[in-house]
Structure 1
Amino acid sequence: MKKLYIIILALTMSLVSCDQWLDIEPEYAQDAENFFNTEEDFQRAVIGVYDLMQTNYLQIWIGEIASDNSIAGGESVNDTQGLHEIDNMVHGGVNNELRDVMRFNYSGIARANFIFENQDKLDFPAKERLLAEVSFIRAYFYFTLVNYFGDMPLIVDRRISINEVTQVERTPKEQIYAQIEQDLDRAIEVLPWTNPEVGRITKGAAMALKGKVLLYQQKFSEAAQVLDELITTNQAGYALFTDMNNMWLAINQNTSEDVFTIQHSGLQGGDYGCLVCLQGNPAPGFHAIRNYVGPLYGDGNSYNLPTQNLYDFFGNDPRREVTILDLEAFIAAQPNPSDISFAIGGGGHTGYYNNKYIKRNDERGLPDDDLTSPLNYRAIRFADVLLMAAEAFAQTGNDSRARTELNKVRQRAGVPDITSSGTQLLEDIYSERRLELSGEGYRFWDLVRTGKAAEAISGFQVGKHELFPIPQVEIDLAGGRWSQNPGY
């Protein structure tokens, strides 16, 4: 395989065979063991770690489809069957999408560990900053894995040999969280608030992710402390983007609201056989309207369709139109509605589409624009930071501060302030997260961590569906040493 360096994902014995970032001239002139001899080598390897974050489309799909926010959709129930199984809460150990989550995140971890394994080969001024960026990204990969699967093998700062694969045990999630926090602390200590190269990880991104990690562990006091520091210090100038209605256009990316953003471009990189190879974001094309001919929007694959439940939840909140495209209403409002046409996929239809991540005619990538949207993935935006802070303050009895941060978000939306306290205030914050963040891939995790999944998700079984199953093929490749998650 043609690679800048060859990384074997020993845990899954899987190879990512996509030459996304670099061409090698001549081919095979370098291999893993004679790399890391120059600063440029380190810089290029770090780009390779960033690269694996571009599999974020899985976060958007699974985080929404597993919840009450959307259905799988698509051409048929056999079109990306794994998403339909997750939608219906009948997923098991054989599921391509869940296997991709595990493979892609461990591939990213392997790339990060390979850099740390060679960190002492060379010194140069930017090395500590680069290693801090990689620490953050490794923390992000492990945080994703522990949310999906719970206990997972923890490998740090080294590759493992093929002979070790069947000897690796699952590590208790508490130890994984400790490593995640350690990596994020390193990033917070070293990284600057801003970086002239757009898309690089910064101190603010590391603080925001640490706040989220602490919140997910119900370490509310610690979460409140780090999120308070981020909000009050804020040397990066984070702020809510004023024009909520146009915030999700490509021209309004990388603004003051973007704290941690995964960058995409309109370049191809891969195809349907290798979505991990893409440079563009495939989610907007997959979310777009099937066989659509009309103004503003492009045609696509009708995945991840918002539910009637979500549409009704908004009521008259103006964020409904920001979040959800009501296609029939949109068509009826056009000057020539009879000229507009579209098709309904056999995988389900609600009449609604994800209006945050959707293909628009003036935002098409090249050459297959179903796969190459230039829309970035806003992994953590400042509105999320404020709502996480509000939750952490409410959980620690500081209702006044919780209302302050919550109402900043509501004021931007143009809706009345919340005046509640105690248990009702917490419920209002949870509701606000759905109003503000739907369509972005957070909903399932919010329901699980707050204990509300069973009442919101049809078919959800307490004690089982809080975690996803370990892919059976990975259990087999590990020599059968790993027990499956409960209930699967």
Structure 2
Amino acid sequence: MRKIYLTIILAMGLMVTSCDYLLDIEPEYTQDAENFFDTPEDYERALVGVYDLLQTSYLHIWIGEIASDNSIAGGESVNDSRGLHEIDNMTHGGVNTELRDIMRWNYAGIARANYIFEHKDKIDFEGKDQILAEAKFLRAYYHFVLTTYFGDVPLVVDRRLSLSEVSASERTPRVQVYAQIEQDLNEAINVLPDQQAETGRITKGAAIALLGKVQLYQNKFGDAAQTLDRIISQNAAGYDLFPDFSTLFYVVNENNSEDVFTIQYSGQQGGDYGCFVCLQGNPAVGFHGVRQYNGPLYGDGNSYNLPTQDLYDYFDGNDPRREATLLDIDAFIAAQPNSGDISYAVGAGGHTGYYNNKYIKRLDERGLPDDDLTSPLNYRVIRYADVLLMAAEAFQQSGNDDRARTELNKVRQRVGMPAINSSGTQLLQDIYRERRLELSGEGYRFFDLVRTGRAADVIQGFVPGKHELFPIPQVEIDLAGGNWQQNPNY
């Protein structure tokens, strides 16, 4: 089975080469529609270009954890990725490199999808409907990321925008953005297969899971329960929980039955520190590594996204997910027979003693040549455990505690934790707790806290009425000619 890698698009010249304009994504030498979309292969190549922007997922892992109570920014110093430190301290504003990258790169993905839809009727061929369905899913996902971060965002459908049109565009109300996301996903679900011949391509299950998540984020609990139940009860794709949580996040166990929507990485380089969007490997893994580490199992890295003591203490001592989620570096070293020969350094950007053990560089999983940038470890955007916990929340919120406990306890049973027997408000709190225990380190925590109204209670410096959304990058406001108002209180 051939694995789809997302940077094949370099060969067709559709990479983002201009970082100065939000949707100015067509570089020199790009083929235009006059000599493209003439063969089925052209549509396939254009679709790979839409997939390509998924490789920027490392930002979601960082921001979703660092903005929450799960981790601190870390790194070499407070000036090393200053934007992450500002997000960590809740002092971020409209000038922030990481937030601008979120906006630019997701809109670039949308623009690439729309390029296909502009020319969807140029030729007919067998399989075109599936290409369009995958493009609709990806467009929905990019829009979902944008509205989750920024709220109201310009809604762009079926066409690219010129720079003059961008300047004249207004931000679309979030409810309309969600409506388009749901429409794209429903249309994709009607076409996509339960399984794909090529690993990494979007399936019907991935689209249903994302639709359920989108509905949950809108508090459409009844709809979300019904949608997510389609995966659990019908389960035509054979989803299941991987039996060994301790090795779930190893490369050797990628693309197993728990993977519902996974971003594939190849372990090759493609780009460098000046072009993270060009990378073919997963840079989060190397950046999460232990600084100047010299010892067994792990490779050295840049000590980003360091889990907090609060997260470590949140786990029961007998919960095997604690060790699988957090590397306690000093305890690990002390347990080695040659502990005196093992060393590491602490960055001035902060140190907690813990590292993200789900997405971390291991010696036998390194890419080449710069293994800080080239990990082949995939990013699981939605795994089956998340589907079960989203379903548990949706069922509880829509009045079905029995079904909520059933789905919740499947997740707990996998790791040998006792069943939950609570009801009502306590059951909902138990589900929230389980989401943190199960999904920490994967980029969900901040958005879970915001959508459930708990962020101000647990995130130091969080200002209600402000930090539920991130600020629109100021440069994009300027490029839009003042048509875009900044989010409240920034």
Give the TM-score range, shorter chain: over 0.9
How far, CA to CA, are the matches of 1:2 and 1:187 in structure 2?
27
Secondary structure at 1:418's aligned position in 2? coil
Instruction: Say whether residues 1:403 and 2:395 are aligned partners.
Output: no
- Partner of 1:481 in structure 2? 483
How far, CA to CA, are the matches of 1:46 and 1:375 in structure 2?
22
- Displacement, 1:141? 0.3
Shifted more, 188-197 versus 311-320: the winner is 311-320
How far, CA to CA, are the matches of 1:439 and 1:369 in structure 2?
20
Moved over 2 A (4+): 1-11, 13-17, 27-34
How far, CA to CA, are the matches of 1:231 and 1:359 in structure 2?
33
What RMSD over aligned residues (CA atoms) do the two structures have, in Å? 1.5
Secondary structure at 1:120's aligned position in 2? coil
- Partner of 1:283 in structure 2? 284
- Partner of 1:438 in structure 2? 440
Q: 1:216-231 counterparts in 2 under 5 A?
A: 216-231=217-232
Secondary structure at 1:121's aligned position in 2? coil
- Partner of 1:12 in structure 2? 22
How far, CA to CA, are the matches of 1:121 and 1:15 in structure 2?
22
- Displacement, 1:32? 4.5
1:240 to 1:474, Cα distance in 2 relative to 1, 3 A: same
- Partner of 2:178 in structure 1? 177
1:79 to 1:201, Cα distance in 2 relative to 1, 3 A: same
- Displacement, 1:447? 0.2
Instruction: Say whether residues 1:43 and 2:39 are aligned partners.
Output: no
Residue identity opposite 1:12 in structure 2? L
Secondary structure at 2:265's aligned position in 1? coil
Instruction: Say whether residues 1:188 and 2:197 are aligned partners.
Output: no
Instruction: Say whether residues 1:414 and 2:424 are aligned partners.
Output: no
- Partner of 1:450 in structure 2? 452
- Displacement, 1:14? 4.3
- Equivalent residue for 2:379, pick from 348, 352, 377: 377
Q: Deviation per CA, 1:394-415, whole angstroms, max 9, x where unpaired? A: 0011000000000000000110
- Partner of 2:339 in structure 1? 337
8 Å CA contact 1:292, 1:343 repeated in 2:
yes
Residue identity opposite 1:441 in structure 2? G
- Partner of 1:211 in structure 2? 212
TM-score (norm: length of structure 1): 0.96
8 Å CA contact 1:5, 1:32 repeated in 2:
no
Q: 1:143-162 counterparts in 2 under 5 A?
A: 143-162=144-163
Instruction: Say whether residues 1:73 and 2:74 are aligned partners.
Output: yes
Q: Deviation per CA, 1:315-341, whole angstroms, max 9, x where unpaired? A: 312210010000000000000100001
Secondary structure at 1:459's aligned position in 2? coil
Secondary structure at 2:382's aligned position in 1? strand
8 Å CA contact 2:14, 2:30 repeated in 1:
no
How far, CA to CA, are the matches of 2:250 and 2:26 in structure 1?
31
- Partner of 2:7 in structure 1? none
Q: Deviation per CA, 1:24-60, whole angstroms, max 9, x where unpaired? A: xxx9483354211110100000000000011000000
How far, CA to CA, are the matches of 2:30 and 2:54 in structure 1?
27
- Displacement, 1:160? 1.7
Residue identity opposite 1:292 in structure 2? Y
Secondary structure at 2:190's aligned position in 1? helix
How far, CA to CA, are the matches of 1:126 and 1:230 in structure 2?
24
- Partner of 2:132 in structure 1? 131
How far, CA to CA, are the matches of 1:185 and 1:9 in structure 2?
33
- Displacement, 1:5? 4.2
- Partner of 2:303 in structure 1? 302
8 Å CA contact 2:267, 2:280 repeated in 1:
yes
How far, CA to CA, are the matches of 1:2 and 1:40 in structure 2?
13
8 Å CA contact 1:52, 1:108 repeated in 2:
yes
Length, aligned pairs only? 479
How far, CA to CA, are the matches of 2:72 and 2:220 in structure 1?
32
Secondary structure at 1:71's aligned position in 2? strand
Secondary structure at 2:348's aligned position in 1? coil
Q: Deviation per CA, 1:191-216, whole angstroms, max 9, x where unpaired? A: 00001100000000000000000000
How far, CA to CA, are the matches of 1:296 and 1:253 in structure 2?
18
How far, CA to CA, are the matches of 2:170 and 2:255 in structure 1?
40
How far, CA to CA, are the matches of 1:411 and 1:458 in structure 2?
33
Secondary structure at 1:154's aligned position in 2? coil
Name the % identity: 71
Residue identity opposite 2:323 in structure 1? E
Secondary structure at 2:214's aligned position in 1? helix
Instruction: Say whether residues 1:55 and 2:64 are aligned partners.
Output: no
How far, CA to CA, are the matches of 1:379 and 1:5 in structure 2?
24
- Partner of 1:202 in structure 2? 203
- Equivalent residue for 2:468, pick from 466, 469, 472: 466
- Partner of 1:23 in structure 2? none
Secondary structure at 1:261's aligned position in 2? strand
8 Å CA contact 1:9, 1:107 repeated in 2:
no
How far, CA to CA, are the matches of 2:388 and 2:123 in structure 1?
40
How far, CA to CA, are the matches of 1:315 and 1:271 in structure 2?
40
8 Å CA contact 1:169, 1:482 repeated in 2:
yes
- Displacement, 1:348? 0.1
Which runs of no fewer than 5 residues in structure 1 stay unpaired?
Answer: 18-26
- Displacement, 1:164? 1.4
1:29 to 1:129, Cα distance in 2 relative to 1, 3 A: closer
- Displacement, 1:106? 0.2
- Displacement, 1:361? 0.1
- Displacement, 1:2? 8.3
- Displacement, 1:241? 0.1
How far, CA to CA, are the matches of 1:29 and 1:406 in structure 2?
49
Secondary structure at 2:121's aligned position in 1? helix
8 Å CA contact 1:188, 1:203 repeated in 2:
yes
8 Å CA contact 1:10, 1:165 repeated in 2:
no
1:241 to 1:165, Cα distance in 2 relative to 1, 3 A: same
8 Å CA contact 1:5, 1:31 repeated in 2:
no
Q: Deviation per CA, 1:111-146, whole angstroms, max 9, x where unpaired? A: 000000010001111100010001000000000000
Secondary structure at 2:72's aligned position in 1? strand
8 Å CA contact 1:10, 1:162 repeated in 2:
no
- Displacement, 1:166? 1.4
Residue identity opposite 1:140 in structure 2? Y
Q: 1:215-294 counterparts in 2 under 5 A?
A: 215-294=216-295
Which runs of no fewer than 5 residues in structure 2 stay unpaired?
Answer: 1-9
